[in-house]
């Protein structure tokens, strides 16, 4: 595939995560009232979807290493469409939480397989550039979804938005079925059973540099999903923005994140993924600390929005470089490595976000959580990632690592 076609198709597949959450975000307060539940449980409907997106990748990613990318992907999209319809008819918050979780599990196939397919196509700096391009396409969902959700709120309730999600799933099924070729050749697939899958997970998890990327991803994911889960309540309840005004603000922030990905694509060939990763993580921590100071000082909505936009710009820089660096040494296990990488991002944030909501989803709790998470990510990058990255560039692969690869191929031959 050409870079543009790959970016369009794979970027479209990555919209499952943001689209599942962002489309209904403007109507979370209405959902809480309609199902006679609390704001915290309404936010939990986003959190369980994120958890499904996280842990579903642990199945879809390794499965795509065994079966190829297309079959697990098409099944995942089809089931996502079905569970979206079941969300639309959920009579209670308990049933909605279950169907939202299953919606996330099935939608995770698009998220993880898109990343694995990108690693099949490219590596190194070119992978970082491709992932930046995917970020541009994928960012259309956060831009369009809240705007569409805010406008649709005038003509339909939250149930109607889940029907819209089902329609989007059906459309993406057509796109994937007609435009995405198989990117993993039969000779590179691992035919072993559970034991071979366990060996692949073990090989990736013994890579200490990869583990550092997972930890940093968990921290930045916590900050990002805290923003997603809190911002509608902060702006609509705290600053009294209408759903339409909130949608416009959220869309502008998504444009800024898109500009971060575009900037990264423009300069990563000269600076390199590692340098852009370090700069992006450090700048995110500085911006989040400034956001916290602004909230404490009470500087108001305008300054808060500017600093939030800066955090999201930096996130757009971090994301493609983080994935490119983490997958660099695991091309033969791209699905498994991508699953662990995606899980680290999606799993931690949903756990933290409802806890933040217990404080009333106020701007202070949101800003404090984002600041702590991004500062921790920055510290990990400087103290753990950079030293190991330098050693990895200097030292050859270990005998143990090569033996693991040999064992995988031996298992595949049987």
Region 344-355 average pLDDT: 69
50 contacts 349 by C-beta, under 8 angstroms: yes
What band does 74 get if pLDDT is binned at 50, 70 and 90?
A: very high
Model confidence over 160-196: pLDDT tens digits? Answer: 889 988 998 999 999 899 888 888 888 788 776 777 7
Cα distances (Å, whole numbers) of residue 56 to 5, 47, 80: 26, 14, 12
Report d(CA 130, CA 175) in Å as an integer: 19
* Residue 350 neighbours by CB under 8 Å, 6+ apart: 46, 47, 48, 49, 50, 51, 54, 225, 229
> Would you tell me the crossing angle of helices 93-121 and 70-88 to the nearest 10 degrees?
160
> What 8-state DSSP symbol labels residue 23?
T
* Residue 266 neighbours by CB under 8 Å, 6+ apart: none
Element (H, E) at 329: none
Q: For residue 404, what pLDDT is reported?
A: 46
Is pLDDT of 207 > 70? yes
- On the CB side of 122, how many CA atoms lie within 13 Å of its CA? 24
What band does 314 get if pLDDT is binned at 50, 70 and 90?
A: very high
Region 243-265 average pLDDT: 84
Q: For residue 413, what pLDDT is reported?
A: 42
What band does 96 get if pLDDT is binned at 50, 70 and 90?
A: very high
What band does 142 get if pLDDT is binned at 50, 70 and 90?
A: low
Q: For residue 144, what pLDDT is reported?
A: 67
Supply φ then ψ for residue 244, to 5 degrees.
Answer: -70, -45
Tracing tokens 């006679």 back to the chain, one arrives at 36
Q: What is 27-61 written as a DSSP string?
A: GHHHHHHHTT--HHHHHHHHHHHHHHHHHHHHHHH
356 contacts 270 by C-beta, under 8 angstroms: no
pTM for the full predicted model: 0.78
Q: For residue 188, what pLDDT is reported?
A: 80
Model confidence over 111-130: pLDDT tens digits? Answer: 899 889 988 888 788 888 88
Region 248-256 average pLDDT: 83
What band does 1 get if pLDDT is binned at 50, 70 and 90?
A: low
> What 8-state DSSP symbol labels residue 396?
P
Is pLDDT of 360 > 60? no
Q: For residue 141, what pLDDT is reported?
A: 66
């Amino acid at each position: 595939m050409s870079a543009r076609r790959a970016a369009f198709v794979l970027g479209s597949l990555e919209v499952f995560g943001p689209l599942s959450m962002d489309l209904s975000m403007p109507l979370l307060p209405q959902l809480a009232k309609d199902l006679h539940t609390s704001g915290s449980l309404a936010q939990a409907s986003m959190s369980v979807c994120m958890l499904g997106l996280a842990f579903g990748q642990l199945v879809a990613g390794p499965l795509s290493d065994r079966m190829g990318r297309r079959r697990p992907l098409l099944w995942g999209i089809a089931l996502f469409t079905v569970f979206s319809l079941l969300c639309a008819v959920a009579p209670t918050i308990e049933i909605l939480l279950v169907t939202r979780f299953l919606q996330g599990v099935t939608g995770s196939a698009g998220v993880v397989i898109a990343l694995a397919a990108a690693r099949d196509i490219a590596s190194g700096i070119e992978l970082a550039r491709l992932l930046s391009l995917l970020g541009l396409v994928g960012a259309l969902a956060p831009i369009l979804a809240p705007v569409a959700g805010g406008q649709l709120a005038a003509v339909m309730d939250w149930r109607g938005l889940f029907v819209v999600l089902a329609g989007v799933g059906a459309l993406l099924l057509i796109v994937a079925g007609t435009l995405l070729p198989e990117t993993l050749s039969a000779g590179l697939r691992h035919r072993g059973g559970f034991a071979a899958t366990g060996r692949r997970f073990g090989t990736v998890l013994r890579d200490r540099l990869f583990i550092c990327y997972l930890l940093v991803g968990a921290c930045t994911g916590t900050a990002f999903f805290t923003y997603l889960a809190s911002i509608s309540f902060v702006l609509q309840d705290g600053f009294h923005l209408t759903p339409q005004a909130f949608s416009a603000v959220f869309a502008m922030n998504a444009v800024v994140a898109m500009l971060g990905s575009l900037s990264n694509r423009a300069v990563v060939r000269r600076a390199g993924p590692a340098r852009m990763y370090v700069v992006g993580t450090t700048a995110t921590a500085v911006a989040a600390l400034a956001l916290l100071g602004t909230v404490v000082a009470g500087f108001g909505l305008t300054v808060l929005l500017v600093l939030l936009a800066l955090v999201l710009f930096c996130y757009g820089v971090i994301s493609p470089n983080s994935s490119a660096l983490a997958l660099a040494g695991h091309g033969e296990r791209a699905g498994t490595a991508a699953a662990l990488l995606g899980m680290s991002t999606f799993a931690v944030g949903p756990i933290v976000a409802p806890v933040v909501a217990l404080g009333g989803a106020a701007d202070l709790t949101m800003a404090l959580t984002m600041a702590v998470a991004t500062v921790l990510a920055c510290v990990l990058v400087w103290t753990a990632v950079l030293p190991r990255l330098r050693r990895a560039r200097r030292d050859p692969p270990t005998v143990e690592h090569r033996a693991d690869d040999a064992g995988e191929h031996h298992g595949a031959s049987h």
